[in-house]
Amino acid sequence: MITHGLKALAQALAGKRISSVELTQLYLDRIDRLNPVINAFITVDAGKSLAQARAADALLAAGKGGLLTGIPLAQKDIFCAKGWRTTCGSKMLGNFISPYDATVIAKFDAAGAVNLGKTNMDEFAMGSSNETSFFGPVKNPWDITRVPGGSSGGSAAAVAALLAPAATGTDTGGSIRQPAALCNLTGLKPTYGVVSRYGMIAFASSLDQAGPMARSAEDCALLLNTMAGFDERDSTSLDRPTEDYSAQLNATAGDKPLAGLKIGLPKEFFGADERTGCSPDVMQLVEAALAEYRKLGAETVEISLPNMKRSVAAYYVIAPAEASSNLSRFDGVRYGYRAAEYSDLNDMYSKSRAQGFGAEVKRRILIGAYVLSHGYYDAYYLQAQRIRRLIANDFVAAFKACDVIMGPTSPSTAFKLGEKAADPVQMYLSDIYTIAVNLAGLPGMSIPCGMASGLPAGLQLIGDYFGEAKLLNVAHRYQQVTGWHLQHADGLA
């Protein structure tokens, strides 16, 4: 079983204890054996992957390799990759072969990483369980009767099942952090604009952000070093000095490495609301993790995010509005699915979209078109944007009293497949703790913090703008004294 972190794999490759071709083949063999059960990958192309691995071995042999050279990674199927089928988990793009690379893909290619394949996801990233995918639901490796979370469920399941050492994901309302929590991974959503969105198929443009998913904070830091950076092709990309997100992770420290750190505990995260409150077993694990942080020298202080209770309502106005606009490009004319039979141009539009989109995508397009329509824009969309500003202001005020905010990532452990599929509101509430972070554009991450009845739970860490390095360090300190992130699902040897 392959259990090494990225740094250990890089050392093995540099020391010629294994070649990239051999390492890639080990993962491809495991994918071939387990993917029919887990359904984590939509597209695997062994020929392309092994060709990249051979090129990486040549770089390593010439002494030109970097830390990620030869490392196999899984890529969420929302990133365009030249020559690869890029479906976004949809029928609409079921046969789309991308003619270009997303910036994230290009950066990993330039670093010499190997693309193992494209991972399954909720259709157009719309979902919290990975059940809306046209290619079928992904199964949680910890219990294949349960969901892995969404929309980056395929990436989460791939890493949890050791089909890949790490993967990319995207987070619009918790889609990296929630599946990371349900699959016992470390997942990071960076500050909006830190990672380029160029070539990342848009769901809600003001909310979408790419980030890494791996087993540890250290691995996420190494991946973010490659993913982050200004991109002139993305109008929302931020032109900032380059950071080394792993620089402070292993700095020497005493018995209290987090002395002076103030952890904010929002009273809204720890409430007893039956509809949105955290389950007792998950909350117990979160409290235990906070106790561990106190041992590391951190201080906890109560804070308040009074407008967080409005975050789900605001999100499900703003995100569908942006989705209805972004998805208007899929009309059956230029690329994507086209209905086989139609009478005229309007009929082709209607039938192609009706047949090409799934139920959840149609639901959000309808909501979005409604809230943007004449007579409703001011009542819904404009009000939601005002609430978004209030939520961001709450975080600004909170960070005057603390350095990092912590709480649950998800209100429960992984739920059963089909359990919430017929109740969209309950499904939406799965992201109650994560959505506000996207509305504010802040960085957030989830780290494993224990097991409840054999299922993983996640602790969420939220940082101030551009606080990724601090978040990763705080997470790494916890992982140095605990072993939750090292556990893997039984029965998948």
Alpha-carbon distances, residue 472 vs 29, 223, 226, 247 (angstroms): 32, 12, 15, 10
Question: In whole numbers, what is the pLDDT of the chain averaged over residues?
Answer: 95
Task: Summarize the confidence of residues 462-469 as an average pLDDT.
Answer: 98
Read off the pLDDT band of 413 (50, 70, 90).
very high
What pLDDT score does 254 carry? 76
What pLDDT score does 491 carry? 59
Read off the pLDDT band of 421 (50, 70, 90).
confident
Q: Where are the beta strands (DSSP E) in 233-378?
A: 262-266, 299-303
Judge whether residue 226 has pLDDT over 60.
yes
Instruction: Give pLDDT tens digits for 389-405.
Output: 999 999 999 999 999 99
Do β-strands 262-266 and 299-303 pair in parallel, antiparallel, or remain unpaired? parallel
Ramachandran region, residue 491 (left: φ > 0; alpha: ψ -120 to 50; beta: rest): left
Q: Hey, is 45 helix, strand or coil? A: coil
Which strand (E) or helix (H) includes residue 316? helix 311-326
The b-or-e profile of 40-67 (16+ CB within 10 A means b, else e) is: bbbbbbeebbbebbebbbeebeeeebbb
What pLDDT score does 271 carry? 66
Distance separating alpha carbons of residues 26 and 338, to the nearest angstrom: 39
Q: Hey, is 417 helix, strand or coil? A: coil
Instruction: Give pLDDT tens digits for 471-489.
Output: 999 999 999 999 999 998 8
Judge whether residue 276 has pLDDT over 90.
no
What pLDDT score does 37 carry? 97
Read off the pLDDT band of 3 (50, 70, 90).
low
- Strands across the sheet with 41-43, in order? 41-43, 114-119, 72-76, 167-171, 209-214, 186-189, 444-452, 455-462, 404-408, 262-266, 299-303
What pLDDT score does 492 carry? 64
Instruction: Give pLDDT tens digits for 173-197.
Output: 999 999 999 999 999 999 999 999 9
**In the block, residue with structure tokens 């509305």:** 439
Half-sphere exposure of 134 (CA within 13 A, CB side): 19
Distance separating alpha carbons of residues 186 and 125, to the nearest angstrom: 19
pTM, two decimals, is 0.96
Alpha-carbon distances, residue 402 vs 445, 460, 479 (angstroms): 17, 15, 21
Judge whether residue 1 has pLDDT over 50.
no
Catalogue the active-site residues. 76, 151, 175
Judge whether residue 344 has pLDDT over 70.
yes
Judge whether residue 267 has pLDDT over 60.
yes
What pLDDT score does 424 carry? 85
Q: Hey, is 308 helix, strand or coil? A: helix
Going by the DSSP 8-state scheme, the letter that residue 278 receives in this structure is P
Distance separating alpha carbons of residues 192 and 278, to the nearest angstrom: 27
Structure tokens at 292: 């561990």
Instruction: Give pLDDT tens digits for 291-342.
Output: 999 999 999 999 999 999 999 999 999 999 999 999 999 999 989 999 999 9
Residues 210 and 240 sit within 8 Å (Cβ to Cβ): no
Task: Enumerate domains of the chain plus CATH numbers.
Answer: 6-255+404-486 (3.90.1300.10), 309-370 (no CATH)
Structure tokens at 232: 């002139």
Distance separating alpha carbons of residues 88 and 61, to the nearest angstrom: 36
Instruction: Give pLDDT tens digits for 20-69.
Output: 999 999 999 999 999 999 999 999 999 999 999 999 999 999 999 999 99
